[in-house]
Amino acid sequence: MALILNEEQQSLKDIAKEFLQKNAPVTHFREIRDTQNELGYDQSLWSEMVNLGWSGILVPEEYGGFDFGMVGMGSIFEEMGRTLTPSPLFSTGVLGATLITLGGDEKQKQNYLPRIVDGSLTTALALEEGNRHSPFSISTKATKAGNEYKISGEKTFVIDGHCSNLIVVAARTEGSDDDASGITLFLVEANTDGIEITKTSMVDSRNSANIKFDNVTVSSSNLLGEENNGAAILEEVLDRAQIAISAEMLGNASQAFDMTLDYLKERKQFGSVIGTFQALQHRAAEMYSELELTKSSVMAACNAVDENSNDLKRMASLAKYKAGETNYLVTNEAVQMHGGVGVTDEYDVGLYLKRARVTEQIFGNSEYHLDRYATLSEY
C-alpha cells in the first residue's frame, strides 16, 4: 500500500483543485446559500463536474464509468471540502454509484449506472430514522402484496433527498426494529405517489430532507439485492461513504487551518503579529500534528477500498473518527483564533465550523466509530 499519490492520482487532484478554486470558490457557496437556491447547487457547475468524469469515478468501465478508485474520489472530496462546493457528488457519485454497483442486478446496473455517469440521474439514500446514525434501527415497513411492496415510514437527514430522481430506501421486511437482518433496499422513483419530501434547512446549508413514505407502491423488480439482506450491501456502501465524507472533512479542516495560519501571520496586537504568541503557536502545532495523522488515515482508508482490504471496516472507522476529532478541534480553534471577526458571517471561517458539525453527523460521529472500532477489534 502506498500512502502517496501516484502521478495519475496527483494530476486528478491538481485538476480538481484548479477547477474548484476557479469555478466554485466559497463565494459560489455563499451565492447558493444567500439566494436560497431551491436545488441547493448549481446545475451548470454540476454538468461541468460530470464532464470532468467525477460522477463516474466509482463506476465500473463496463457501465460507462472510469473505475478510477476511491483514492481519486477522496482527492476530489478533499478539494471540495476546502471550497465548500455544493454538489450532488456525494449522494450520486458515491452513494448511488456504489449502492447500485455493489447491490444491483445486471439490469439495474445497465439501467442506472450509465445515467449516473452522464449526469442525467441523481440519487439519494433514505436510511436514518433517529437523531443519530444507527444504520439498522429501521422501523419503516415494506409489506409484500403479490408482486409489489408497500412502503410506509419516515426518514430523516436524507442527503440531497429533495433533489434526487431516484431514492434508495432501507425498509424492514422482517424482524424487529434494531435487527440487522430483515432490512431490504428498494429503488424508488422520487415522483412515486405517496412520497412527501420536505427540504430541511441545515446550519451549514447542506442539502438534506425529511421524507415520508405513505403506502408507496413499488414492484418487486425494484428490490436492490435480496430481500432481508439489505444490511450487507448497506455496510459496504457505508464504509465507502464514510471514507469519502472523511476526505471532505479533511479538506474542511485543512482549509480552516490554513486560513487561521494566514491570520496568525497578519493580525497585529500588542505590537506584534499574534502568531508570535506561544499560547497560539503550540495550539497551531498540535493542530498540524492532528491534521497529518488525519491525512494518513484518510489516504489509507481510500487505499483500503481500492485494494479490497479485509480490514476495510476498521479503516473506514479510523478515517471517520480521526476526521471528526480533528475537524472539531481545528474549526473551534480557527474561530477562536480569529477573535471577534471569527464569529461574523462575513468571515469564511464560521462556514467551516458549521459544515464540520453537519458532516460529523453523516453516517456516524466519532464516538460511534470509536465504539465500532473496538467491537470490530473484539474488545
Judged by beta carbon distances under 5 to 8 A according to partner kind, the member of another protein, ligand FAD, none in contact with residue 343 is ligand FAD
- To another protein, the closest distance from the beta carbon of 79 in angstroms equals 19
Residue 340 is a binding residue for ligand FAD (CB under 6 A): yes
Residue 129 CB: number of other CB atoms within 10 A? 17
- What is the residue whose three cell numbers read 436510511? 127
CB-wise, 100 or 245, nearer to another protein? 245
Judged by beta carbon distances under 5 to 8 A according to partner kind, the member of another protein, ligand FAD, none in contact with residue 143 is none
Residue 132 CB: number of other CB atoms within 10 A? 12
- To ligand FAD, the closest distance from the beta carbon of 205 in angstroms equals 22
CB-wise, 187 or 335, nearer to ligand FAD? 335
Out of 228, 336, 358, 376, the residue judged to bind ligand FAD by CB under 6 A? 336
Kindly give the pairing relationship between strand 183-189 and strand 223-224: antiparallel
CB-wise, 1 or 145, nearer to another protein? 1
Report CA Rg, the chain. 21
Judged by beta carbon distances under 5 to 8 A according to partner kind, the member of ligand FAD, another protein, none in contact with residue 340 is ligand FAD
Judged by beta carbon distances under 5 to 8 A according to partner kind, the member of ligand FAD, another protein, none in contact with residue 27 is none
What separation in angstroms does the CA of 209 have from each of 26, 139, 158, 163, 305? Answer: 23, 18, 5, 9, 29
Which segments of the chain does DSSP mark as H helices, in order?
Answer: 7-23, 26-34, 43-51, 70-83, 97-103, 106-117, 230-266, 278-306, 312-337, 349-361, 366-376
Judged by beta carbon distances under 5 to 8 A according to partner kind, the member of another protein, ligand FAD, none in contact with residue 321 is another protein
What separation in angstroms does the CA of 63 have from each of 60, 89, 97, 107, 228? Answer: 6, 18, 11, 11, 27
- To another protein, the closest distance from the beta carbon of 224 in angstroms equals 31
CB-wise, 26 or 280, nearer to ligand FAD? 280
Cα three-residue angle 312-326-253, rounded to 5 degrees? 105
- What is the residue whose three cell numbers read 419503516? 140
Dist. CA 242–CA 98, nearest whole Å: 12
Closest CA to 245 of 166, 305, 298: 298
CB-wise, 149 or 373, nearer to another protein? 373
Q: Which stretch binds ligand FAD (CB under 6 A): 117-125, 202-210, 265-273, 315-323?
A: 265-273
Long-range pairs of 188-192 with CB within 8 A, sequence gap ≥ 24:
188/151, 188/213, 188/216, 188/218, 188/222, 189/165, 190/124, 190/164, 190/165, 190/166, 192/216, 192/217, 192/218
Judged by beta carbon distances under 5 to 8 A according to partner kind, the member of ligand FAD, another protein, none in contact with residue 184 is none
- To another protein, the closest distance from the beta carbon of 7 in angstroms equals 14
- To ligand FAD, the closest distance from the beta carbon of 272 in angstroms equals 8
CB-wise, 167 or 319, nearer to another protein? 319
Dist. CA 182–CA 338, nearest whole Å: 50
CB-wise, 211 or 335, nearer to ligand FAD? 335
Q: For helices 278-306 and 70-83, what crossing angle results, to 10°?
A: 150
CB-wise, 62 or 311, nearer to another protein? 311
Interacting residues toward another protein by CB under 8 A: 1-4, 261, 264-265, 272-273, 275-276, 278, 281-282, 284-286, 288-289, 292-297, 299-300, 311, 314, 317-318, 321-322, 370-371, 373-375, 377-379
Query: Under rule CB under 6 A, which residues in 118-177 are in contact with ligand FAD?
Result: none
62: alpha, beta or left? (left if phi > 0; alpha if psi -120 to 50): alpha
What character string, x for contact with ligand FAD (CB under 6 A) and - otherwise, covers 266-305? Answer: -x-xx---x--x-xx-------------------------
What separation in angstroms does the CA of 128 have from each of 210, 213, 367? Answer: 10, 13, 17
- To ligand FAD, the closest distance from the beta carbon of 357 in angstroms equals 19
CB-wise, 196 or 258, nearer to ligand FAD? 258
Q: Which parts of this chain interact with ligand FAD (CB under 6 A)? A: 267, 269-270, 274, 277, 279-280, 336-337, 339-340, 343
